[in-house]
Amino acid sequence: MHPILNILMLRNKLKEWFKRYSLAEFIALIIAIIVANLSKFWFGNIILSAFLATWAENIAYYGTIASKDLKSEINKNEKLSFKAIIKTARNMFIEFGPAEYLDSFLIRPFYLTIFPYLISNYSLAILIGTILANITYYIPTIFSYEMRKKIFKD
């Protein structure tokens, strides 16, 4: 394949991934910073705050993705159905499942715990920890997303 075509295909993929994940990521990041700061203030425990921020971030992120996907299914079928809910759940499990387990219970809490010890500005430490966790999260997630699209064409 010609190198120019490869570049154009990659550019189109990057746009697709940005459109798919950016809104959810933005909302989740804001929630993570808020919850991390509030829980650190209330409980004074950075490790507990890291886990609470991680789980609040997950709820915001997956809630946004699920609502976008369900809205897309409703637009295709003009109604919300049990089949649409099952399809969305299946797709999300396939797309996010492999990366999510390690992310929620190990990688993200680790980064959100360690960076506050390294960076005095707590919100900045949470932001940097989140960005680094996202790098390790999106590699398997995007791979799973692309495989899901090839396997399930519905």
- In this prediction the pTM is 0.87
CB distance 64 to 28 below 8 Å: yes
Token pair belonging to 115 = 């960076």
CA distances from 57 to 9, 69, 74, 87, 108 (A): 31, 18, 26, 23, 10
Q: How far apart are CA 124 and CA 33, in angstroms?
A: 9
The domain ranges of the chain are 22-151
Query: Closest Cα partner for 64 from 42, 84, 80, 72?
Result: 72
In tens, the pLDDT along 92-124 reads 999 999 899 889 889 999 999 999 999 999 999
CB contact set of 116 (below 8 Å; sequence gap of 6+): 40, 46, 122, 125, 126
In the numeric block, the tokens 């360690």 are attached to 114
As given in the structure block, the two tokens for residue 133 are: 């966790």
Average pLDDT over residues 81-88: 90
pLDDT range class, residue 75, cuts 50, 70, 90: confident
Model confidence band, residue 81 (pLDDT cutoffs 50, 70, 90): confident
